Amino acid sequence: MTRQTCTTCNAELRGTENYCPQCGHSLRGRRGRRGEPEPPRWVEIEFQESKSSSFHTALDLCITNPNYRTFERNALKVHRVGFHADQSGELLRLANIVRGWKSFRLFVDGREETWRSFFYGGYYCFEDRDASAHSNQYCYGESSEWFNWWGCHRLGYGFYSEEDWLRSGKMMEDHVFVLDKDRIKRILLQRARSHRFCPVMNTKSILERVDMLPDAIDPATNPDWEYYFLDWRDEPSTPPAAAVPVCNPESMIVTHLVPPDVVVPNPPDRSWAQGEPPPGYE
């Protein structure tokens, strides 16, 4: 029988693992099918013997995990346990006990990370998603302020956001709004890095969604879109000084980009957008 080993650390494998039990290296493809999240990351928590009153509680959480093991380092006993990153409940229960200990170490896919970089790098948001009654709606955004069609409301470029669209497109003299898709992709990827430890972050799917947007938007010929005029003095019949395209929530492109169980929030009040003064304007 051929001996199987990890390509990263040469640890011996049984052949059934998804991740190396020694270093956490993924033993399967990280890229999911179109539109599906990438496989969750592998997270390991390590700590040594402790005089803390919570030590035995931490140990009890470990010994029920099949990915728990012990070994010696510098004549000291080390405890290490692995989790799929989407096991947020179990992972956080243990981490909240041991993360203040001097011996605490955290590894993500075999690479050591600080707890702060991991937790605030998207994992706290995933924890909130787990606690939400509707996880898909939480990710896409539950209000008009946050909602977007990338599948992560933390990325911005909201469905009703004016500023983001203005920075990534140009209004032409013929009233056609031309999107700068390359710029949109760069900004989304840059923002996604700040949330890279979210187990359901799928950058491949995000970039595909950008490609599905039209290169140019003309509400005069495409009823799926309309303009929001950012200056109430602009008239729809003249080239607007500042306007951004907004998609009809019931349009075909929305049905392709947004899952059927996600509700597109109602737009913010734009009653002043067609030449009427905005609320509170004197």
Q: Report how far residue 244's alpha carbon sits from residue 226's, in angstroms, rounded to the nearest whole number.
A: 8
Q: Angle at which helices 88-98 and 55-63 pack, to 10 degrees?
A: 150
What pLDDT does residue 216 have? Answer: 93
Q: Which helix (H) or strand (E) holds 216?
A: strand 216-217
What pLDDT does residue 34 have? Answer: 41
Chain-centre distance for alpha carbon 104: 26
What residues contact residue 96 under an 8 Å CB cut-off, 6+ apart?
A: none
Which of 94, 10, 113, 109 is closest to 56 using CA atoms?
Answer: 94
Interstrand relation of 243-247 and 225-229 (parallel, antiparallel or unpaired) = antiparallel
Q: Report how far residue 56's alpha carbon sits from residue 32's, in angstroms, rounded to the nearest whole number.
A: 39
Check: pTM over 0.75? Answer yes or no. Answer: no
What pLDDT does residue 31 have? Answer: 41
Query: What are the beta bridge partners of residue 72?
Result: 77
Angle at 26 between CA 118 and CA 125, to 5 degrees: 25
Q: Report how far residue 40's alpha carbon sits from residue 28's, in angstroms, rounded to the nearest whole number.
A: 11
Lookup: tokens for 202: 């799928």
pLDDT tens over the chain, length 282 residues: 456 777 656 677 766 565 565 555 556 544 444 444 455 589 999 999 999 999 999 999 999 999 999 999 989 999 999 999 888 889 999 999 999 999 999 999 888 999 999 999 999 999 899 889 999 999 999 988 889 889 999 998 888 877 777 778 888 888 899 999 999 999 999 999 889 899 888 888 899 999 999 999 998 898 888 887 765 454 554 445 567 788 888 888 888 888 889 998 887 765 544 445 444 444
Which of 171, 281, 258 is closest to 217 using CA atoms?
Answer: 171
Map out the domains of the chain with their CATH numbers: 20-113 (3.30.70), 137-257 (no CATH)
Q: Report how far residue 275's alpha carbon sits from residue 262's, in angstroms, rounded to the nearest whole number.
A: 33
Q: How many CB atoms lie within 10 A of CB 258?
A: 20
DSSP character string of 234-259: --TTS--SSEEEEE-TTSHHHHHHS-
